[in-house]
Structure 1
Amino acid sequence: MKLPDTAHTSRPWRIHEIAHDFRLYDVWALPTPGGPDDFPRLVRNTAAGDTSDNPSWIARTLFAIRWKLGKLFGWDSPKAGVGSRVPTLRDRLPRDLREGPTGPEFDRLPFTSVYLTEDEWASEMANSTMHGVLHLGWVPDGSGGHRGQLAVLVKPNGLFGKAYMAAIGPFRHLLVYPPLLRGIAREWQESA
């Protein structure tokens, strides 16, 4: 379920001090009911994710097209990534987070873990269009349990990046996120 921005901005997440110059694009409640200690499972499931196994053929097709266009136009080349075109957010971390765990590495997606706490995980990716942050939090669900919360923060790269993010907005909300959330729910139940 899509949430208002305040579901993310009102929480005392550490990402606010690190990615203050990024724009919050999306906040979603994840269908991952659990207890206070289930956050590590959500992090592991996310790091093992892959766009090619999305339950929606439309979403799989859109991701495949995006990866092909990225390859064709060089959007995803190493020189456009984290540590090349943009510095890693790890350079911004306060000492306690820098010395703490980063979190798992992704199996198939082009993200790199930045930091991990007991209820928050941030990872980043960059390409020619943007520098993005995938932020997961573990929040009380209002009925005695907990659930995951996903936030996407982005710093577009110039006018092209802004136009690109605007163009993909409807696709993200209508064709990508709904099946993605269904897939997360299925994986959550299977990994219980």
Structure 2
Amino acid sequence: MRLPRTAHTSRPWRIHEIAPDFKIEDVWRMPTPGGPDDFPHLVDQMANGVEAHRSAAVSRFLFAVRWKLGAVLGWDSFDASLGARVPTLRDRLPADLREVPRGPDLKGVPIPFLSVYQTHDEWVAEMANRTVHGLMHVGWVPDTKAPGGYRGQMTVLVKPNGAFGTLYMAGIKPFRYLGIYQQMLLALGREWRATAARRSTAETTRTTGTTGR
């Protein structure tokens, strides 16, 4: 479910101070209810299970078309990537965020999506090509529908590359809303529910120090 931008701007995320020049494109409620310590599980699932959002035929088709166009038109070439066309956002990090573990990169995506930082309730990954410098911000927020519970919240922030990048983002918006994000979040929610028992066992082991043997 899409959320208003204030769902992101009203929270004290570190990303506000690091990327004030990026525009909020979307904010999404994630179907990932959990407890206060479940955020690392969500980050791990998103980093290692990103192919899940291609499970629907619509998403597979849209991704295939996009990557084919990118290859033909050179949108995703190396000279347009992070460290080439634009510097990585890690260059902006304050000292305390540079010293913590960076977090995992996304696997299984044609364009490198590299982690910028991860805290106890935030994870940011970035990508760049000839159209845009984009950020995926995932946060862990109190769940108003489950007192005492938490859930994931995903925000997409972008800095389009000139007029062409602005037109590109406007052109793909209907496809993102109708085919990509919704299917990705549905698949993410199914996997999250399927691994609930594993998370519960891991939490019990962590808090009791037992192995179940």
Give me the TM-score of the superposition, normalised by structure 1: 0.97
Partner of 1:21: 21
| Structure 2 residue 89 is the aligned partner of structure 1 residue 89 | yes
| One-letter amino acid of the structure 1 residue matched with residue 177 of structure 2 | H
Q: CA RMSD in A?
A: 1.1
Contact residue 51 and residue 60 of structure 1 kept, 8 A = no
| Bigger-Rg structure (1/2) | 2
Q: For residues 191 and 70 of structure 1, what CA distance do their matches in structure 2 show?
A: 35
Contact residue 135 and residue 151 of structure 1 kept, 8 A = yes
Alpha-carbon deviations, 1:16-51, whole Å to 9, x = none? 111100000000010000000100011011111334
Partner of 2:46: 46
- Once the two structures are TM-superposed, the CA of residue 144 in structure 1 deviates from its matched residue by 1.5
Length, aligned pairs only = 192
Partner of 2:124: 122
Greater CA deviation, 77-86 or 54-63?
54-63
| One-letter amino acid of the structure 2 residue matched with residue 128 of structure 1 | R
Partner of 1:178: 182
| One-letter amino acid of the structure 1 residue matched with residue 118 of structure 2 | L
Partner of 1:154: 158
| One-letter amino acid of the structure 2 residue matched with residue 74 of structure 1 | G
Q: For residues 100 and 91 of structure 2, what CA distance do their matches in structure 1 show?
A: 13
Partner of 2:204: none
Give me the TM-score of the superposition, normalised by structure 2: 0.87
Partner of 2:171: 167
Alpha-carbon deviations, 1:118-162, whole Å to 9, x = none? 000000000000000000000000222000000000000011100
Partner of 2:211: none
Show structure 1 runs of 5+ residues with no match.
none
Secondary structure, counterpart of 1:85 in structure 2 = coil
| One-letter amino acid of the structure 2 residue matched with residue 40 of structure 1 | P
- Once the two structures are TM-superposed, the CA of residue 52 in structure 1 deviates from its matched residue by 7.0
Q: For residues 111 and 152 of structure 1, what CA distance do their matches in structure 2 show?
A: 13
